[in-house]
Chain A
Amino acid sequence: MTSLAPNDEAEELLRPSADLLYRVIEYNAAGMHIFDRDGRFVLSNAAVEQMYGVPRSAFTGLRYDDPRFVRFTLSGEPLAAVDHPFSQVQRSGRPVYDVQYVVTPPQGARRVISVNAAPLFDDVGEFSGAVASITDITRYIEHQSHLQTLAVENARLYEETVAALRQRDALMHSITHDLKNPLLSILAHAQLLERRLARGGPCEPGQLSEGLAAIEQAARRLQGMVTELLDVARLEAGQPLELQRAPMDLVALVQGCIAELATAGGRHRFVVEAPLPGLVGVWDAARLERVLSNLLSNAVRYSPAGGEIAVQLEQQQQGSAAWAVVRVKDHGMGIPAAELPRIAERFYRASNVSTSIPGTGLGLASARLLVEAHGGTLTIASTEGEGTTVTVRLPLDPPPSGGS
């Protein structure tokens, strides 16, 4: 007989005591099964009942490869019968360690287990069965897969960060580009005036004031760009804007913005639909002008084939609150549906925009933030290839809290 004990003293202790052996098995913290030579469960301990939530009698008499057991490898494929620890031990006559798989016994709970198993031999050294010790590693595996999910999530965050940095690079590039035009205009006008003065020739007051006006206009444009950048940076950092609220007419503002765009020349037809003579609210005129001029110039820019751009203004009553609603509707290239949720993010530009269309990806984000600073909302509906409608809703009255 293969000796169970490492020395005589222990053997002495064990031999008379089937009871001791029984207790060691029964009260072992690990689940234990004893199989006969055919692979039938002949004995299971208390921990097995605990582990699977079924009485151990559920196992007794079943063969290890009974089809009522559902077993999978950790990679999700069915566990082949030959890979079962009993089968391995039976074939090799040697113990196996840490065989991991997922098992659902008949009516029992699904568990991820690690199995150590060893062969048993009878008095003449013939294979007579196997003993298996089972550790429930369900929690450990779940924890590992949680870690794996975390790792995947980390990788995704990293990718997003890299993408955001790239967008920022593109924005920096684009902003420098945009700033250089008014700068060029200022330089050219200033140097032209200098040359005239240096020549000592006649410099008519008209020419002088014209040049100075052009310089001022370009400088204002620069100022507007810088203010917009600062506003967006401040709002995105969660700092409130100090709005300069005063009663103002939204219809007049829209018409002013359109007049400015129309002087730039182009193939777009603007149609303003305003059922009211005016739409007066208490807003920050300079900031709303930026909102509207961003939305209108987007509509122009992203419908390069020209066409009609409709601006609809109306007043809506919602309970006791009155809202001004402005819709800017173009028939341009639209925004791919999958990208709509991201489109009002700072610096985000849709993938169907050719790189030749200038833009920083700042306009829409800035418009949304400025509208929200007024307690309003900006929403976008778009169909790629058909056009985009941006809807701005602004409360007619400032919030009663007296805040911004």
Chain B
Amino acid sequence: MQSVLVVDDDPEVRAALAGALEEEGLAVRTAANGVEALRCIAVEEPAVVLLDLQMPGMDGAALLDTLRTARLTTPVVLMSADTRCAAVVGRADAYLAKPFELNQLYDTVAQFTQQEA
């Protein structure tokens, strides 16, 4: 089954998004920071990564750069409440501005999970 990796330092956000995605029959993994996320991406090869921009330690931008430097093409959907981060957003595959609607979440994730299904 295709899996989605949710990376956010906020446990409530992780739980909410995981619940919503599982409802649609997706397998969900979660990570609380960039380092955990890297490990998970390497092992699980998720179909898409939902990535929060602002996190302690390795933040979303740093993780995105690490992935791309390592030539990992896993699609990344950036999530942020910050509207001033256009430069990073340009390097991601899609962007969700917090708070977003579930429909937006499903539509965005579907772009990266359905073609292989």
> Which A residues are closer than 8 A to B by beta carbons?
173, 176-177, 180-185, 187-189, 191-192, 195-196, 211, 214, 217-218, 221, 263-266, 301, 304, 356-358
Interface flag for B68 (CB, 8 Å): no
Interface flag for B101 (CB, 8 Å): yes
* Contact B12 A185, beta carbon cutoff 8 Å: yes
List B residues 82-106 near A (Cβ within 8 Å): 82, 84, 98-102, 105
Interface flag for B57 (CB, 8 Å): yes
Listed stretches B14-22, B40-48, B70-78; interface member: B14-22
* Contact B13 A181, beta carbon cutoff 8 Å: yes
* Contact B99 A189, beta carbon cutoff 8 Å: no
* Contact B102 A177, beta carbon cutoff 8 Å: no
List B residues 51-85 near A (Cβ within 8 Å): 54-57, 59, 61-62, 81-82, 84
Bound form: Cα–Cα A325–B20 in Å: 45
* Contact A356 B62, beta carbon cutoff 8 Å: yes
CB-CB < 8 A to A195: which residues of B?
Answer: 23, 102
* Contact B16 A184, beta carbon cutoff 8 Å: yes
* Contact A358 B12, beta carbon cutoff 8 Å: no
Bound form: Cα–Cα A284–B105 in Å: 41
* Contact B17 A188, beta carbon cutoff 8 Å: yes
* A200 → B minimal CB distance (Å): 15
CB-CB < 8 A to A185: which residues of B?
Answer: 10, 12-13, 15-16
CB-CB < 8 A to A264: which residues of B?
Answer: 11, 32
* Contact B55 A265, beta carbon cutoff 8 Å: no
For B12, give its contact among A191, A196, A214, A304 (CB under 8 Å). A214
* Contact B57 A214, beta carbon cutoff 8 Å: no
CB-CB < 8 A to A266: which residues of B?
Answer: 32
Give me 29 A-to-B residue pairs in the complex whose CB atoms sit less than 8 angstroms apart, sorted by A's number. A173-B82, A173-B84, A177-B82, A180-B81, A180-B98, A181-B12, A181-B98, A183-B99, A184-B16, A184-B99, A187-B99, A187-B100, A187-B101, A187-B102, A188-B17, A189-B19, A191-B101, A192-B20, A192-B23, A196-B23, A211-B19, A214-B19, A265-B11, A266-B32, A304-B57, A356-B54, A356-B57, A356-B62, A358-B54
Give chain B's interface residue range (CB within 8 Å of chain A). Answer: 20 to 34
Bound form: Cα–Cα A377–B12 in Å: 33
* A95 → B minimal CB distance (Å): 67
* Contact B81 A177, beta carbon cutoff 8 Å: yes
Given contacts A356-B59, A358-B9, A358-B56, whether A214 and B15 have CB atoms under 8 Å apart is yes
Chain A residues touching B, majority SS: helix
CB-CB < 8 A to A188: which residues of B?
Answer: 16-17, 19-20, 102, 105
Given contacts A177-B81, A187-B102, A266-B32, whether A356 and B56 have CB atoms under 8 Å apart is yes
Bound form: Cα–Cα A217–B10 in Å: 13
* B37 → A minimal CB distance (Å): 13
Bound form: Cα–Cα A29–B15 in Å: 89
* Contact A180 B99, beta carbon cutoff 8 Å: yes
CB-CB < 8 A to B99: which residues of A?
Answer: 180, 183-184, 187
* A199 → B minimal CB distance (Å): 10
Given contacts A184-B98, A184-B100, whether A214 and B16 have CB atoms under 8 Å apart is yes
CB-CB < 8 A to B17: which residues of A?
Answer: 188
Given contacts A181-B98, A195-B102, A265-B11, whether A356 and B55 have CB atoms under 8 Å apart is yes
* Contact A192 B19, beta carbon cutoff 8 Å: yes
CB-CB < 8 A to A187: which residues of B?
Answer: 99-102
Bound form: Cα–Cα A185–B17 in Å: 8
Q: A184-B99, A184-B100 are in contact. List 15 more A-B contacts (CB 8 A).
A: A177-B82, A181-B13, A181-B98, A185-B13, A187-B101, A188-B20, A191-B20, A192-B20, A192-B23, A211-B19, A265-B32, A301-B56, A304-B57, A356-B62, A358-B54
* Contact B57 A182, beta carbon cutoff 8 Å: no
* B83 → A minimal CB distance (Å): 9
CB-CB < 8 A to B98: which residues of A?
Answer: 180-181, 183-184
* A43 → B minimal CB distance (Å): 77
* Contact A304 B13, beta carbon cutoff 8 Å: no
Bound form: Cα–Cα A100–B98 in Å: 68
- A221 closest partner in B (C-beta): B12
* A177 → B minimal CB distance (Å): 4
- A179 closest partner in B (C-beta): B81
Bound form: Cα–Cα A304–B55 in Å: 11
A-B pairs with lowest CB-CB distance, top 5: A356-B59, A180-B81, A184-B99, A188-B16, A177-B81
